[in-house]
A and B are shown apart, each in its own frame.
Chain A
C-alpha cells in the first residue's frame, strides 16, 4: 500500500485547507477574545503543514522501509469486505421499512455466508436462532425495534 500512501496525504491537505477556510468564515476572533473558529484554524494549519511535509518526504525520500498494510490484500478478502459493508449500509437503509426480524435475518444470513459458513441448512438455522435470541434478549432488556411489515415491536 506504500505506493498509495500519497492518497491520504493529499486527502489530509485538502481537508485541512477546507477547514482553514470554514474556520475563517466562522470567525477567528481576537487573541484576547478568541472566536469559535480559532482553535480549528490553528489545528488545520498544523495539519496542513505536517501532511505537506509527509508528502514531500514521500516524494523526495521514497522511504520504503515501513510496512503500512495489514492483511493479505487478496481479492477474496476485498470482496468479503465490500459485501459486508454494502450489506450493513443496505440493512441500515431498510431496517425501518422491513422491520427488525426480516432485515436482520437477511443480514445475518449474508454475514454467515460471507464469513465462510458452507452448508445452507446450518446458515439458515443459525440465522433464525441468532435473530430470535437477539430479538427476545434485547426486547427483554427494554430495547424497541422497528416494527416494519410484520408489525412486531
Chain B
C-alpha cells in the first residue's frame, strides 16, 4: 500500500462518525488538561485508560493520541495569560508569552502559538508518514541483540537527559526493571518476587501503577503548593498575527518543526526538551537577543511549534520499533498491548487500518485544535478560573473509579495508592517517575531479547559486539555514559536548569 492510498484509507477510518467523535473528545480533553495546571497528559491518559476498554481499539487510540497532542496546544494558553505553564512543555512560553500579554499583545501570542502548533503538528505527521516505512523495513531485520542494544541506548539517553542527577535516574530505571520482573516469567513460567500473593502473579497492574505515579502523586504534590492564579484581565483581541508578526515567526516556526521533530524521536527528548532547545536556538540566532524575555514573538512561535512537532515525532519509534521514547507514549504503548495490538515493525502491515486511521486522525485533530483554540479562547480563559479545590477531589475520584473498575477489585485501588505515595516521595527526593514507567514497559522486552541473544550465541556475551548495528548502538550508549562524567555535560545541565 503506497502512502497516498494508505492515507485515504486512514481518512475513511477516521471520518467514521464514532472515530470523529472520539477524536474530538480526545483533543477537547487534551486542550482542557493543557489549560489546567495540575494534571498533565500522562496522568489523564492513565486515568481514562480503563474507560476506553469497552471502545473499539482504533477509536480508543485516536482519542488517547488526541489527548497527547491536544495538551501541547492548551499548555500555551496558561503560560501566556497566567504565567503558569499548563504543561512542562510550555514552560519557556511563559518567558515571552506573558510579557506579550502584559504589553496588550495576548491575542497575537495566543494566535501564533496555535498556528505554529498547527504547522509543526501537521508537518510532523507528514515527516512521520515518509520516515516510518524505511525505519520499519530496517527494523524487520533486527534480531534480539539489536533490540537489546537499542533499548539499552534508549535507557542511556533517558538517563542522560534526566532533569536531575544521572545516578538517581539510573537507579529509577533499574527499579523499573525490577518491578517489571514481578510475576510469572514469560520464558520459564517460574513465579518471581510474587511472595505467594495471587494478585502479584500477573505483575503490578500497569494502569493502577501509572494512575498512582502520575495522577495521585501529582495531586499530592500540588496540595502543598500555592495555587493562586492571577489571570490577565485585558480583553483578548486580534488573535490573528499581522504580517510583521508572521515575518518574525516563520523562521522560528520552521526551525522549531525540525528541532522538535528530531528531539521528539529521541528517548527522553519529547516535547519538553524540544521547546527548550528551540528557545535557545532562536535566542542565539536572533539579531536582537536582548528582546527575548521581554515579549519577543519568536520566543513563543519557536517553542510552541517545537513541542507539537516533538509530540508528532514521538510516534515514530513507537510505530516503527515498538519502543516508546517518553512516558506518555509508553502509556499509549501499554494501551496498545491491552487492546491486543503490539506496536513494532510488523504493526503497520498487520494493523494498517489502525495505523493509517491514527495518522489521519492527527490531521483532523490538528484542524479541530486550531478551531478549538482560537475562536474558543474565551471559554478556556473562563475555565482557568476553576479553583484547584474543586478540581482536586474530582481528579482523585476519577482515579479511584478508574482503578476499581479495571477488575472490580479493591486490590487495584490499593496498588494505585501505594504507587501514588511512592511517586510523591520520589518527587520529594528528586527522582523522576517517567524513567520508571519507561523501564517498566521496556523491561520485559529487554529481558527477553537479552536471554534470546544468549541462547542464540550459546552463552557468548560478545554477540552484542559482533553484530554491526548492535555494536554501534552500544558504543554510542557507552560514549554518552562516559560523557556524563565530563564537566561540559554538567555545565549544559546547569544551564538548562537555570
Contact = CB atoms under 8 A, between A and B. Distances in A.
- The listed residue with most A CB atoms (<10 A of its CB), out of B170, B174, B187, is B174
Nearest to A92: B413
A40 interface: yes
A75 B427 CA distance: 18
A71 to B, nearest CB: 4
A68 B171 CA distance: 15
A85 B178 contact: no
Interface stretch (B95-103, B217-225, B323-331): B217-225
A136 interface: no
A51 B178 CA distance: 15
A12 B388 CA distance: 35
B188 A130 contact: no
A62 B171 CA distance: 19
Interface string B376-402: 000000000000111011101100110
B417 A71 contact: no
A90 to B, nearest CB: 11
B93 to A, nearest CB: 21
B415 to A, nearest CB: 10
Contacts of A54: 165, 167-168, 171
B479 interface: no
Given A31-B461, A93-B410, A115-B388, A50 B170 contact: yes
Contacts, number: 178
A144 B404 CA distance: 10
B178 A77 contact: no
Contacts of B178: 15, 19, 40, 43-44, 47
B363 to A, nearest CB: 29
A51 B168 CA distance: 8
Nearest to A93: B410
A43 B177 contact: yes
B389 A116 contact: yes
Contacts of B174: 16, 43-44, 46-47, 50
A115 to B, nearest CB: 4
Contact of A72 (B192, B193, B225, B446): B225
Contacts of B427: 70
B171 A84 contact: no
Contact of A88 (B177, B187, B417, B450): B417
Interface stretch (B237-245, B343-351, B428-436): B428-436
Nearest to A30: B459
Contact of B455 (A19, A32, A37): A32
Interface string B434-471: 00000000000011001100110011110000000000
A8 B171 CA distance: 10
Interface string A45-74: 011001101100100000000111111111
A34 B174 CA distance: 19
A15 to B, nearest CB: 8
A117 B256 CA distance: 43
B219 A84 contact: yes
Contacts of B51: 141
A39 B193 contact: no
Contact of B394 (A69, A73, A84, A130): A130
A31 B459 contact: yes
B494 to A, nearest CB: 8
Given A85-B417, A88-B400, A39 B221 contact: no
A121 interface: no
Contact of A115 (B190, B216, B389): B389
Contacts of B164: 66, 68
B456 to A, nearest CB: 10
Given A96-B410, A115-B388, A40 B192 contact: yes
Nearest to A73: B224
Nearest to B429: A8
Given A54-B168, A88-B417, A93-B410, A4 B429 contact: yes
A149 interface: no
Nearest to B426: A8
A126 interface: yes
B480 interface: no
B181 A39 contact: yes
Interface string B148-190: 0000000000000000110110110011011001000101101
A111 interface: yes
A92 B414 contact: yes
A56 B85 CA distance: 37
Nearest to A127: B393
Contacts of A130: 393-394, 397
B234 interface: no
B424 interface: yes
A74 to B, nearest CB: 7
Contacts of A50: 167, 170-171, 174
Given A40-B177, A89-B414, A142-B54, 18 more contacts: A1-B429, A8-B431, A32-B455, A34-B451, A39-B177, A40-B192, A57-B167, A66-B164, A68-B164, A70-B427, A70-B428, A72-B224, A80-B223, A81-B223, A92-B400, A95-B404, A96-B410, A112-B393
8 contacts: A36-B188, A43-B181, A50-B174, A69-B430, A76-B224, A77-B224, A92-B400, A141-B54
By Cβ-Cβ distance, the 3 closest A-B pairs, closest first, are A77-B224, A32-B459, A68-B430
